[in-house]
A = this chain, B = another copy of it.
Amino acid sequence: MSDVQGFFYPRTATGRASLIPAPPWFYSGDLLTVEYRTDPARVAELLPAPLEPAPEDPGAVALIWADWQSCSTDRSELLDPVRSQYKEAFVVVRCSFQGQVFSRCVYIWVDKDFAVARGIHQGYPKKLGSMWQTRPHAFPHAAPTIGPGGMFGATLAAGDRRLAEAVVTLREPAESNGFVNGHPMAHHRVLPGIERGAADAFAQLIRSGSAEVEAGQAWAGDAELRLFDAPTEELAALEVDEIIGGYFRQVGVVWNGGTVLADDLHLGPQRQEQP
């Protein structure tokens, strides 16, 4: 028997096989965001106690596509980019906890296992999906300009079904790329109990956010967004009542841990029985 090493599983004698190394984690990427308003009741029902709806604009939703390159401290992933590049699409709402407004990711899809594992650590409820977003490029032969009239498309699919598609047409520089994802994140980390029908074995509310962010000029514009239903998804329940805006921004980010907001939470009826 022995002590085993490694931030995440599998833990081994050296820790080399760990699916992800310990933070900090570094990111360079492009964000394409569509913000819109849905029925605030649809947002509220996704917020388990003790979270409450945000006091202002409680139906605001951000659907964000991100095209990332990422690495850990030794940057070795950057030279084996299958371990560095990934794409994601995620849905953010706002909530309130003890009088403070937080952002909260309620749905997210990624396309690599290391990204899934980071999400389990950070409380992002990651599934696998297929995400595509138009890339800007130095030459416009087959690429939009980051400037007025630049058009960016984005799509999300999972389970061989398209779940969302968006088009953002840039209009002008802006202060930010939206407000919904602008707060610290309040996320649950949950593990069901192993016994049949048991309550959660672990449930924790954590606060997390970027340790460092550098961001380029944000651009705002018009946006179209279509959501499609699927048997095991509920994204389309967040119906698009009113588009707030579309945004593009390039960022560099460091993530390096969070803090516990509350432990031993009860997240509601723990096991719905299968009929």
Please report the C-alpha to C-alpha distance between residue A198 and residue B26 in the assembled complex, in whole angstroms: 19
Are the CB atoms of B15 and A272 closer together than 8 Å? yes
| Among B18, B24, B47, B195, contact of A258 (Cβ-Cβ < 8 Å) | B195
30 contacts between A and B (CB under 8 A): A10-B234, A11-B188, A12-B46, A17-B235, A18-B232, A22-B192, A22-B197, A22-B274, A24-B274, A27-B142, A28-B142, A28-B143, A29-B142, A70-B142, A74-B274, A74-B275, A77-B142, A81-B135, A82-B159, A113-B128, A121-B194, A132-B160, A138-B250, A141-B214, A141-B252, A141-B254, A189-B191, A191-B191, A194-B206, A194-B257
B residues in contact with A159, CB < 8 Å: 80, 82-83
Taking A141-B254, A254-B141 as contacts, is the C-beta distance between A13 and B45 under 8 angstroms? yes
- Please provide the chain A residues from 61 to 105 with a CB less than 8 Å away from any CB of chain B in the complex: 68-85
Query: 8 smallest A-B Cβ distances: which pairs?
Result: A139-B252, A3-B268, A79-B153, A9-B125, A141-B252, A73-B274, A196-B257, A157-B160
* Residue A253 CB within 8 A of the other chain: yes
* Residue A19 CB within 8 A of the other chain: yes
Nearest-Cβ distance from residue A106 to partner chain B, whole angstroms? 6
Are the CB atoms of A23 and B160 closer together than 8 Å? no
Please report the C-alpha to C-alpha distance between residue A204 and residue B200 in the assembled complex, in whole angstroms: 13
B residues in contact with A165, CB < 8 Å: 80
| Among B5, B133, B192, B197, contact of A8 (Cβ-Cβ < 8 Å) | B192
Number of interface residues of A (CB under 8 A): 132
B residues in contact with A10, CB < 8 Å: 46, 106-107, 125, 234
B residues in contact with A197, CB < 8 Å: 22, 257
Taking A1-B48, A2-B45, A202-B202 as contacts, is the C-beta distance between A133 and B81 under 8 angstroms? yes
* Residue A112 CB within 8 A of the other chain: yes
Are the CB atoms of A7 and B192 closer together than 8 Å? yes
Are the CB atoms of B28 and A141 closer together than 8 Å? yes
4 other A-B residue contacts (CB within 8 Å) besides A17-B107, A17-B235, A83-B232: A12-B234, A18-B232, A26-B141, A157-B157
